[in-house]
Structures are given as C-alpha cells and as structure tokens.
C-alpha cells in the first residue's frame, strides 16, 4: 500500500512557519529556492515507516502526518537527525525554537501549484503498488516494490543493499584465495594422492560450481534490489523538483518516461530463485 500523503494545508503551514529555512540550529539552507524548486525535505519526527527513526507503533497515520510530527530540514540534517541521540523531545524543541524566529514574519508561497502535482504523484504510486500487488503473477518469486519509502529511506535501503553486496564480494574473494588449499584438503580427506582422469570432471565441477548460488542468485537479487530502488529514488526526486517548477516540459517528459517504465516493470519483476 502506498504512503498516505501529508495534507497540503499542513505543508503550507509548515513552510510558512519555517521561514523557508532548515530547522536545524545554525543551518541557513533554504527549503524552496529562487527558481521555486523544493530543495529541502519534509521529515517525520517519529517515522512514518516501522524501519524509520523514532517510529511510534501507537501512532495513527493521521498522527504521523500531523503538523506536530513534521518539520522541514535540508538533506544533510535530515540524514543527521536519524541518529537516535536526536530524540523526539530534542527535535520538537528544535522545531519550536526555529518557528519562534519567524512567527511575526512567516514565509509565504502560492500553494496552488502543489495540489494537482501532489495528487498526481500520490495516484501514480498507488497505481504502481496496485500493479505490483495484483497484476504481477510471479507470486512467491515476485519482487515487492515498496512505494511507501521516502527519498531518504530509499537512500538508506540502497546503502544496506550495497553493504550486503560487499559481504558477498568478500565471500567470493576469500573463496578464490582458499581454492588451492581446499583442493589439497579434499584430496587428503579422501586419501587421494592425485585425481584420476575419470574423476577430474566431477572434482572440477565440485569446486568451480561451489559459489554458483552466490553468483547467480545472491548477487543478482541484490543488484535487482539496488536498481529498482535507484529508479524509485530518481522518480521521487524529479517529482519533487516538478512540484515547484511545473512549467518544465523537459522534466515532465523525463518523469513520464520513467513512470511508464516502472509501471511495466511492476507487472513482471521477480527475484532469482
């Protein structure tokens, strides 16, 4: 199921009270730039998703998307505040103090440009989730596309996938380094001084295919996961850019092309098993 969008009235209020600046103390990074592009990030204090920082399972969706649980930060400080030393109390105090600086001079923006595009974006991700869930016939082999992940969550998930891929690479490297020793150990365990001609093919297959699953299943599936999340991240980044720059026809064309491609992929994508 796709993530429920934040109310546009709440976004409008958050922007107005942000002074168009990141709420992190001492940071002057703007939220909307001079070209009307959204360059900041709307962040949950208590995470929307279970794997996010400070997730509160007792919260309803409405509470997660409430004004009190949201704050605008720059990308750098959004990542930094995922550290749990930034507790809920610390972040709410940070937000309150930041908004106090702009209570008499709120930032204003024409929010009408958000309505149509955000509605289209929400409809699109709901459609991708539906296609992946109900039109993909692979069942157990189906790759689950999580359309709820935010940009920051996608980045973190890609990092985790890359770490797993690195672990597999190290395993393969170690396997290559020990193959000579492993062959000698095999001969000793089987009390063989050499391999007979009739057995050479069997022994060769034994060692040449010992990492078959890592090569053909493990690596392939992690690469699939990374490529899919990168595609989602690319679409979400461009959708955010279009949000405050709706007249960019080239950007619209690029987004449409990628969105169509992902919908087609959602119908057939599956993991290697």
Q: What digits encode the pLDDT tens for the residues 142-180?
A: 999 999 888 888 999 999 999 999 999 898 888 888 877
Pairwise CA distance, residues 2 & 48, whole Å: 12
Tell me the backbone φ, ψ of residue 265, rounded to 5 degrees. -65, -40
Q: What average pLDDT does this structure show over 41-55?
A: 92
Provide the 3-class DSSP secondary structure of residue 83.
coil
Domain map (residue ranges) of the chain: 8-109, 125-268
| 84 or 193: which leads in pLDDT | 84
b/e code 158-177 from CB counts within 10 Å (16+ = b): beebeebbeebeeeeeeeee
- Sequence-separated (6 or more) residues with CB below 8 Å from residue 271: 141, 142, 143, 221, 224
pLDDT at 110 over 60: no
Query: What is the radius of gyration, based on Cα positions, of the chain?
Result: 25
Q: For the whole prediction, is pTM greater than 0.75?
A: no
DSSP state of 195: -
* Predicted confidence (pLDDT) per residue in 3-37, tens digit: 778 888 898 889 889 999 999 999 999 998 877 77
| 185 or 19: which leads in pLDDT | 19
Count of residues making up the chain: 273
| 223 or 208: which leads in pLDDT | 223
Q: What average pLDDT does this structure show over 243-257?
A: 84
């Amino acid at each position: 199921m796709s993530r429920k969008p934040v109310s546009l009235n709440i976004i409008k209020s958050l922007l107005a009270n942000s002074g168009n600046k990141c709420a992190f103390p001492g940071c002057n990074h703007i939220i909307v730039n001079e070209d009307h592009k959204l360059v900041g990030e709307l962040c949950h204090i208590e995470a929307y998703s279970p794997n996010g920082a400070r997730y509160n399972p007792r919260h309803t969706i409405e509470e997660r998307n409430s004004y009190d649980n949201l704050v605008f930060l720059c990308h750098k400080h959004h990542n930094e505040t995922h550290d749990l030393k930034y507790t809920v109390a610390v972040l709410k105090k940070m937000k309150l103090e930041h908004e106090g600086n702009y209570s008499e001079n709120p930032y204003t923006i024409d929010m009408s440009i958000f309505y149509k595009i955000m509605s289209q974006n929400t409809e699109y991700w709901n459609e991708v989730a539906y296609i992946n869930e109900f039109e993909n016939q692979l069942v157990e082999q189906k790759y689950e596309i999580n359309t709820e992940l935010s940009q920051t969550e996608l980045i973190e998930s890609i990092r985790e996938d890359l770490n797993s891929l690195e672990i597999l690479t190290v395993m393969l490297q170690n396997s290559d380094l020990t193959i000579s020793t492993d062959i000698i150990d095999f001969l000793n365990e089987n009390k063989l001084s050499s391999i007979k001609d009739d057995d050479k093919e069997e022994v060769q297959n034994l060692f040449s295919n010992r990492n078959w699953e890592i090569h053909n299943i493990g690596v392939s599936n992690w690469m699939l996961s990374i490529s899919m999340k990168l595609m989602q991240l690319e679409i979400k980044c461009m959708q955010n850019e279009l949000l405050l720059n709706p007249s960019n026809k080239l950007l619209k064309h690029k987004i449409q092309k990628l969105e169509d491609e992902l919908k087609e992929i959602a119908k057939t994508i599956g993991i290697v098993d």
